[in-house]
Every structure is written in C-alpha cells, then in structure tokens.
Chains A and B, each alone.
Chain A
Amino acid sequence: MASIGKILRRSFLIGSTAIVGGVAFGAWYVSRPAANPLRPGAGEAALNPFVFIDAQGVTLIAPRAEMGQGVHTTWAALIAEELDVDLADVRVIHGPPAQAYYNSAMIADALPNKGYDISDFQHGIGEMLGVLGKVVGLQVTGGSTSMKDGFVRMREAGAVARETLKQAAADRLGLARGDLRTQSGKVIAPDGTELSYAALAEAAAAIDPVDAPLRDAREWRLLGKPQPRVDMTAKVTGTATFGVDVRLPGMKFAALRINPRLGGAMSGYDDSAARAMPGVERIVDLGDGVAVIGRNTWLAQQAADAIDITWEKAPYPPETEAIFERIAAALDDAPNSALRDDGDVTSPPAGATRITAEYRAPYLAHATMEPMNATARYTGDALEVWCGNQGPTFQQARCADIAGLPKEAVTVHTTLMGGGFGRRLELDYASHATRVAMAMPGVPVQLTWSREEDMRHDFYRPGAMARFSGAIVDGKAVMLDARIAAQSAVFQAMDRVAGLPPAGPDKVLVEGAFNQPYAIPNYRVRGHVCDLKIPVGFWRSVGNSFNGFFHETFMDEMAVAAGADPLAFRLDLMRGEHAPSAGCLKAVAEMSGWTGKTPEGVGRGVALTYSFGTPVAQVIEVADEGGVIRIRRAWIACDMGIALDPAIIEAQMTGGMIYGLSAACFGEITFADGAVEQGNFPDYDALRMHSAPETEVRILQTNAHMGGAGEPGTPPSMPALGNALFDLTGQRARSMPFARQFNLLV
C-alpha cells in the first residue's frame, strides 16, 4: 500500500481543509467538485479524493481527526460498503489538508460579516467559525447534520470507484460491466476470472468516472453493524503515534511556563539558575512566558521551573466569587437572545403553583489524557508541524503568520489525539511550538505542556448561572421562564482567533435550554453574555453541558411541585412534541424498571437532553453505602436515526456520560490571585474504575434526522445524577460539583 509519506509528498498543501465541531461524531463537510488532492504516480490511481489504490492495495482517506470517537472506522466503512473492500484489508489514513475535504458551498453564506478588508488568515478563521456556528445551529434545530453529508457522499465515493473499476475490467475482458460483480477488493467475471483492484487501478483512473446508485440499507454488509476499529491494534500495542510520540532524527525536547494569570503579561525573568542546569540547550522568550529547549522533556521542565519570572496581573477579577458576581450581574443585563419565546410568561394563570430556582455551573478544564504538545522544525524558508489537531488549515495559517512564511511553506501533519473534547480546536500549542522551533533553525523540537501548564492554560468551559421560574396548574407545567448567563465561547473565539467582533444572538450559550422538546405553552429562554476575559472555549457538548443541567434539574423541581413522577411528568409534555425523545424516555423507563419508587438507601434520577440532533435519556442510580454515596448503575437510551456503528455509538454514549458525571462530581476550575488553583488530577479528579457505574445502552433508530454521537451523552448525565441525589437525600443539587454538597465515593 502507498506509504503515507509518499501520498503526502505528492499531495500535501493543496488548498485548505476545515474540521469543525469538536467531538461531534463526524462533523465534516465535503464538496464534490473540488480538485483531487491525491497525486498518484505511475502505477497508482486516486479514483477520487477518498480512494487511493496502488500495486499493494487500497488506501481510504478519512480526513477527520481521530480523537477516540471512532470516526476513521465509520468513515472508512461508508466508503468500503460500496467499494466492496474489507476493512481489514485496507489502510485508513487522515490524509492531507485539502480543498476536496471541505464544503466551500456551505461556508459561503455562513459568515456573519464577510470581510473584504480582512487578511486571508482572518478570512479563513472567520469562515471556520461561521461554519461552526452554523453547524451548531443546524444540529440544535435538528436539520441536516454533518454525518448525513458524509453518509451520502462517502458511499457515493465508494460506489463510483467500484463501478469505474468494473468498467476498466469490462474493457480488459471484453465483457459488459453489468456482467461483472465485485467482492473483497476484486472484480469477478461470470467464468470466475478475478482481477484485483490494484491490477485495474491505473486503467480505471484513465476513464471517466461511472456513476452508480447507492445500495439499499437492507443490502449493507458493514454499516449498521459493529466493525472492529481500524486503530485498535496500534492502540493496544503502544504503536499508535500520538502527537507526543513523534520522533525525528536530532530532535530536542522543550517545556514551557506561561503566565498563570491568563492573558497577563510577563515583565521579566531571571534564568541564570536554569542556564546552568543539565541538558539545557536554549531558553526562549515567548512574550507571555518562557520555554526551555533541552535534551529531554523532564530536564527541560526542571529548568523551566527554576526560572524566576515576574508575572503581570490578570485582565479579569482575580477571585472566583468576584467572577461569579459578574456572571450573576449579567443575568440582570439586557439579554443577548430570546431564542424561545412562546406564549406569555409574564402573567401565569391565577391559582398556579409558582416555583423558582437559581443554578450555578463552574468553569471546567478539558483535561485531555494527552497534554497539549506539538513538534515543529523551522528551516528559515519552511516550517513543518506535527500535532493532533481539530483543524489543520487553521493551525497552518496561524503558524505561517508567526513564522512570517507563506501558508504554502508550512506543512501540518495531523496525528492521532489522546483526547480532544474541543480543546484541540485551539491554536496555542502549535503556535508556541513554532516560536520555540524558530530559536533553533533546522532542529526539530517537541514542546510538551506539563499537566499543570495544561490545566492552568485551557480554554475553559465557561462558568454559568441561571434563574428559572415556572408555573404548574393541575399537575402540568404551564410556564417556564429561564435566564442564563455566561461568557460567550463563540464570541470570544471569534475575537481571539480572528479579531472579528461579536455578532447576533449566541445560540450556543442557550443550546440545551431553548430547544428542548417539551410542550409548555408559555416558554421563554433568554441568554445573557457576560463579558470577561477568562479564556473560554468548546468543551464536549458546549452550551448543552451547563444548560442540560439547569433545564433538567428544573424540570425535576417542577415535577416535584406538581406532585408527579418525574419521568411521567416529562413524558406527558414530550409525547406530542417529539416522538424520538419520548421514545428514549420510555426506553430508559423500561430498561431500569422505573417505578418512581426506590428502596431505602437508593436514589434514582432521570434526565433527557436533546443536543446535536440526538435525544439522550439517562437514568442514574445512586446508593448510600455506609454514608458514602456511590453511583451504582446507569441506563442510557439515544436516538440518532440511522446507527452506523452500534458498538462505537455505545462507547461514545458511555464515555460521554462518564465525562459528564466526572465533571458533575468533581470538576471545578477556581481562581485565586488571578490564577487557576487546580493543577493536576489530584485536584481535578474524574470517575475511575471503582466509581464508574455499570452501564446499559439502548440505541433507537426512529429519528428521521441523523444526529451526533460524541457529545449528546454528556449533558443529561449531570442532571440525572443531581436528580438521583435529590431522590436519595431530599437535598436539591443546584450547584456543581456535587462533591461540595454530598459525600460522594472518591
């Protein structure tokens, strides 16, 4: 099979590519008419941008970053389904950044303020963010989604390649194409003659592509069934290459320290002690921090720690409580949005039972298992960068900017990622690696964040607050009015990476609250943007990650006020509004044997959040075990329409839930003297083997629209747990993390 290096040498740096949407399962757009970025040599054929064949076999291009969500496997399965190759026999690579892997049509009308006077870099970033906003918008309204786009186009890529190979075989054998069939990478004639795709590839590349209709789902061999992941063998043998595993001849290793007061300046440093330490090669002034290049990462880190640095103040209130005072104040400011405003929430019917509640969610770090890192080699007229990332073209453009090089002189190699969760959409790690490598031209340098630097220099899930009020008449919710305040991750990212001003209503700030499938006649959700300079970004499920908690905790409080069973109360409001959501609730009720009653010492909670086009319902069971509360069991039901790979979806649902439960129990980023207080896992812990629940997942397929899988498992986990804790203890959990209020198993 073609070596990756060989393909890349021929095809790297053609046009641009965009990957959006964080951990969303397959948030990826493809435009058909773009030039094929794969440049086959003699004896090789790239039948389209996704199928590459040479004498050794078939390589499929899955131009989507693999962060653990299994996208390489499912993407390849879409092509292989129609191409008639076996996944075990093909190679799957991320491929080069290229125009062909990007939907220019979709982007054209997405920019809020398309700029004629902005730089190429700003333009590109603006487009990416425009798309991001649009993608999120589409997902929350349940419209067409990214996977749906890949779902059709990738099967088409496979079908066209297959029929074209058959045509080449027909020409060679003097038969009609219709008389031939295909199986396991071969064209087979009626008399049993077999021609391998590799033997036909060159001839096939010379003829016009032959269109073919897509097969009916009933004929699928691969899709809809669990496939062995294409990355599994490498990941269980230590041979998978993550960004931090890149090794190049003559490579040096670097560590850094950046101002812990985020965005604050550095006024000076004394590196005399560091210079004398073993293995130190170079000390690099990064402007807002210092890096040390050394013989290995640890020696470099020791030296970095020995530098005496004077840091300037943070550009935001230095203590957590002062920050939350600002967020609380924003609740009373003019709203940025009122994306749901049904009926009249200002005059509830006489005799209604009124309830109100206030909620709070903390700032959170992504804490990917692999700390931030990137490797770079700068030669004066060119730059090569290796890193796991969620948007290679934007890394490329930013690095080019820093190095003062044209984009074409910058090559970005996208590796596997030890977790993304939205963190690797940011550009800081490749940017700093570029600055560091520029200090030692010709030498490849790998820059790795310590866990503490990683946790203290994140683009955090914003802290958020909400005020809800509701009214109940005859056991039914007749009114819900919500105000939500937080920093805007979208506005800040637009400003941070592109210098674009905030514009319009921020849907992401209220997603998971304004768009939930409940038929409440008087229903209003308003978003309030709190303008603070703490770096915030896209954390698995983004706005849904706090709004799911707010909204579904309040629904539980409404149910209690109505004297109703919390599951039946929701189902009543949902049944006529969105059948797939109601189906998920019914499924978890059945799976968990929900009766609304629990024995002494056991509590159960339910929640449902509709996000990224997928409703997910969860029931969580907690138990009091001698004064310590353990999360014992969990039941999940989801409906993303067609389930392309049930085993991967099951893993994403479970993993997404555990990510959310970890945050709900222990996750909290707090500030003191302008710096993040948490630095490592002992103070930012997560669920572990003994504390993670036994989990059962059911995948429904009634949704008419395809939804995501990587993120929607996260939002309902937090309210389901909080509601279970209420059921167990009678104490309402209105603020996360819950470990502050409850004695949870650590």
Chain B
Amino acid sequence: MTTTLTINGTDHAVDLPQEVPLLWVLRDEIGLTGTKFGCGVAACGACTVHIDGTAVRACQVALGDVWGPVTTIEGLGTPQAMNAVQRAWAAEQVAQCGYCQSGQIMQAAALLAENPDPDDSDIDDAMQGNLCRCGTYPRIRAAIKSAARMMKEA
C-alpha cells in the first residue's frame, strides 16, 4: 500500500506494510540517516523526530499512524544554515561520538519551542528519555541554556 509522508517539507510516497516504524522508513527507504536507531523500544531517544511539531520516538510510530508532517534533524538545519539549537550545540562543543545528538537536538528543539526559558528541572524532565553513552549531559544542559539565550536575542 502506498503512503505519502511529508518529510522536511517534501512529499515522499512509500509502498510498505503499514506497521513498519517511521524510523526505518526514514533511514532505509528514504535515506535520511540523521535519525538514529539506538534501542527500538522507546528507551534511548536516538530516533527522536517531530511530527506536527511534537517530539516523538520514530521507532514507536508505525508508518500508518504518522499523523502530520515530519521534521528530522536534516530539516531542522543544514551545515550551511544551522538552526539556533544546532549552533548552540556547536558553540558548546557538545558531541563526542555524536550518535545520540540528532535525537538530543530534536528533543531540545521541541522543549525550547514550548518553553523558551527552561530551568534545570524543566531540562531534566524533557531530556531524561535521551540517553548518551558518552556522557555529554553537562554540555547538553549548557547548550540548551545558550540556545534559549540565542533565541531570545534573535
């Protein structure tokens, strides 16, 4: 069955069983590999994308259930035109191996869209589903705060 998804503003038609999770549609069918596979059970956040502006775990959303336009890390910003959150991440030099960071950034972007001035406990609440085995948490926290400042000034 053919399903049409709007991803980063572009329509993609895919012919796949409806239960295939969005994560694998993005990665293996459309070739958008910025969204990562970490656990497949909603326990790591590496696969975080936005559907209709809400942060969701792409490993848990079946193709047939995608209810709105999808934004992935590639749609948030590009190396030439980074989003404020990505700029803050680069300024704070957050990434180590970098594998979790697409998900961290998408989660943080959703937090900041909802709450432009998050405090430490807001950050704890919003980010605790996103695992980082390299332990970059202190810099993630700093980057969220600096992104908040950047967005306020903009």
Q: Which A residues fall within an 8 A CB radius of B?
A: 67-70, 226, 228-229, 231-242, 244-245, 247, 253, 278-279, 295-299, 367-371, 416-421, 448, 450-451, 647, 651-652, 654-659, 662, 680-682, 686-692, 694-695
Contact = CB atoms under 8 A, between A and B. Distances in A.
Contacts of B133: 367-369, 419, 421, 659, 686
B56 to A, nearest CB: 16
13 contacts: A228-B90, A235-B101, A236-B105, A239-B34, A242-B36, A244-B33, A298-B24, A368-B97, A368-B99, A371-B37, A419-B99, A681-B41, A681-B131
B79 A298 contact: no
Contact of A418 (B23, B97, B139): B97
A439 B97 CA distance: 32
A229 B23 CA distance: 28
A298 B20 contact: yes
A681 B44 contact: yes
Given A687-B137, A690-B124, A417 B33 contact: no
A651 B99 contact: no
A590 B84 CA distance: 37
B98 A416 contact: yes
B93 A647 contact: yes
A451 B99 CA distance: 14
Given A239-B34, A416-B98, 7 more contacts: A238-B73, A247-B33, A253-B28, A297-B24, A298-B23, A299-B17, A691-B128
Interface of B is mostly: loop
Nearest to A301: B40
Contacts of A232: 89-90, 93, 95
B132 interface: yes
B68 interface: no
Nearest to A451: B39
A418 B36 contact: yes
Given A239-B79, A419-B97, A686 B73 contact: no
A657 B124 contact: no
A451 B40 contact: yes
Given A236-B86, A253-B28, A419 B134 contact: yes
Contacts of A299: 17, 20, 24
Contacts of B136: 651, 655
B14 to A, nearest CB: 10
B33 A68 contact: no
B90 A233 contact: yes
A417 B32 CA distance: 18
B55 interface: no
Interface in B90-114: 90, 93-102, 105
A369 B131 contact: yes
Contact of A228 (B78, B93, B97, B138): B93
Interface residues of B, number: 63
The 6 closest A-B pairs by CB, nearest first: A238-B34, A418-B99, A658-B135, A68-B97, A235-B98, A68-B96
B83 to A, nearest CB: 9
Contacts of B74: 237-239
Nearest to B46: A369
B90 A682 contact: no
Contacts of B33: 238, 241, 244-245, 247
A238 B102 contact: yes
Given A236-B86, A238-B35, A687 B135 contact: yes
B52 to A, nearest CB: 20
B3 to A, nearest CB: 14
Contacts, number: 192
A315 B48 CA distance: 40
A229 B37 CA distance: 24
Given A236-B82, A238-B35, A689-B127, A229 B137 contact: no
B141 interface: yes
Nearest to A239: B79
Contacts of A421: 133
Given A238-B72, A253-B28, A689 B97 contact: no
Contacts of B139: 651
Contacts of B34: 237-239
A676 B28 CA distance: 29
Contacts of B69: none
A234 B105 CA distance: 13
Contacts of B31: 247
Contacts of B41: 451, 680-682
Contacts of B40: 450-451, 680
A419 B86 CA distance: 21
Given A238-B74, A369-B134, A70 B96 contact: yes
Contacts of A279: 16-17
A241 B25 CA distance: 18
A234 B97 contact: no
Nearest to B73: A238
Given A654-B138, A688-B128, A694-B138, A370 B97 contact: yes
A688 B90 CA distance: 21
A298 B29 CA distance: 11
B43 interface: yes
Contacts of B44: 369, 681
B66 interface: no
Contacts of A681: 38-39, 41, 43-44, 131
Nearest to A658: B135
B51 interface: no
Interface string B4-20: 00000000000011001
Contacts of A242: 36, 98-99
B149 interface: no
B13 to A, nearest CB: 16
A546 B73 CA distance: 39
Nearest to A647: B93
Nearest to B133: A369
Nearest to B33: A245
Contacts of A67: 97
A545 to B, nearest CB: 15
A689 B44 CA distance: 12
A369 B95 contact: no
A689 B95 contact: no
Nearest to A655: B135
Nearest to B59: A298
B78 to A, nearest CB: 6
A69 B96 contact: yes
Contacts of A369: 36, 38, 44, 46, 97, 99-100, 131-134
A415 to B, nearest CB: 11
Given A238-B34, A239-B74, A296-B20, A689 B130 contact: yes
A657 B89 CA distance: 21
Nearest to B34: A238
B123 interface: yes
A294 to B, nearest CB: 9
Contacts of A235: 95, 98, 101
Q: Which of B44, B89, B140 has the most CB of A within 10 A?
A: B44
A228 B91 CA distance: 8
B153 interface: no
Contacts of B73: 237-238
B5 to A, nearest CB: 15
B31 to A, nearest CB: 5
Contacts of A368: 97, 99, 133
Interface in B64-80: 72-74, 77-79
A151 B141 CA distance: 33
Nearest to B129: A688
Contacts of B27: 296-297
B99 A695 contact: no
A565 to B, nearest CB: 29
A237 B78 contact: yes
A594 to B, nearest CB: 21
Nearest to B144: A689
Nearest to B28: A296
B37 A244 contact: yes
A692 B135 contact: yes
A694 B138 CA distance: 7
